[in-house]
Amino acid sequence: MDRIKSKVAIVTGGANGIGRAICELFAEEGAWVLIADIEEAGGKEVVAAIRAKGGEAEFCRTDVSNPADVQRAVAMAAAHNGRIDILCNNAAYLSPDFHAALESTDEEWRRCIDVALLGTHSLTKATLPYMIDQQQGSIVNIVSIQGMEGMMTSAAYTATKAALLGYAMSVSYDYGLQNIRINSLCPGPIQTRISADPNDPHLRWQCDQTTLGRVGYPKEVAWAALFLASDEASFITGVTLPVDGGWTSSSARKRV
């Protein structure tokens, strides 16, 4: 309890999955949370769930690829008490139908870049002035192990996620002296609505790629995000932290 008490946090893509778990945990730990998502019903449901447990949250319908939406969301968060302490860039364009380079369409590339990369930049750019004034802030980007290694038929998604790692390193360099930290969390396979069906052989394959032999849960990513967002991580910036059950650190895949 209270690990980020009274801090103001913005979480993009907070209506579902990993983002929802992050919103709920941040609120449990004392933050005032702005849920910025394109899904209004889901976002309002998360607000209600947080308030039912005594937490504080608001929803702002936000398409992170729309600069006007981003300005509105950041203004709404700042209206709470003038501060923005934590930004969690989690929203991404997720398609069940990503492609290899040859088959990938311009539309797929544009949507990946507009939502995950430019959306993250837009939110970061709109939030940094508050953090600079405060001389304090923590930005946590939800990336993917697909930013760290290649995987099948997802050139645009993988390229966008890899670019986010470079973005965090650059921003951490430029704003470190203002005590603004920015870190990248790289989830492995996490059970959300985008996950493979329980009977899909792809799920077994994913489990076999981890040393823990299973997929992860949204809360397991949220715990890592909470740590990086909190003052407990006050000397940590510019890092890439896999939350992947050992996928990237081992040769587990060679078992199969």
Ligand X SMILES: NC(=O)c1ccc[n+]([C@@H]2O[C@H](COP(=O)([O-])OP(=O)(O)OC[C@H]3O[C@@H](n4cnc5c(N)ncnc54)[C@H](O)[C@@H]3O)[C@@H](O)[C@H]2O)c1
Among 16, 172, 183, 237, the residue binding ligand X under the rule CB under 6 A is 16
Which residues 69-98 are close enough to bind ligand X by CB under 6 A? 90-94
Q: Does 15 bind ligand X (CB under 6 A)?
A: yes
**Residue 181 zone, left/alpha/beta (φ > 0; ψ -120 to 50; rest):** beta
Q: Does 212 bind ligand X (CB under 6 A)?
A: no
Size of residue set near ligand X by CB under 6 A: 30
- Alpha-carbon Rg for the chain in angstroms: 17
Dihedral sign of CA atoms 68, 41, 107, 195 in order: positive
Minimum distance between the CB of residue 68 and ligand X, rounded to whole angstroms?
Answer: 13
Q: Does 37 bind ligand X (CB under 6 A)?
A: yes
Burial letters 153-170, b for 16+ CB under 10 A, else e: ebbbbbbbbbbbbebbbe
Minimum distance between the CB of residue 161 and ligand X, rounded to whole angstroms?
Answer: 7
Torsion of CA 98, 239, 88, 85, to 10 degrees: -170
Cα distance between residue 124 and residue 118, in whole Å: 10
Q: Which stretch binds ligand X (CB under 6 A): 1-9, 79-87, 130-138, 191-199?
A: 191-199
157 labelled catalytic: yes
165 CB contacts (<8 Å, ≥6 apart)? 143, 147, 148, 184, 240
Which residues 169-188 are close enough to bind ligand X by CB under 6 A? 187
Catalytic: which of 93, 130, 157, 167?
A: 157
Taking CA atoms, 151 is separated from 10, 69, 98, in Å, by: 30, 32, 11
Which residues 125-154 are close enough to bind ligand X by CB under 6 A? 142, 144
Residue nearest ligand X, CB atom distance: 17
Residues that bind ligand X (CB under 6 A): 12-13, 15-19, 37-39, 42, 62-65, 90-94, 115, 142, 144, 187, 189-190, 192-195
Q: Which residues form the catalytic set?
A: 157
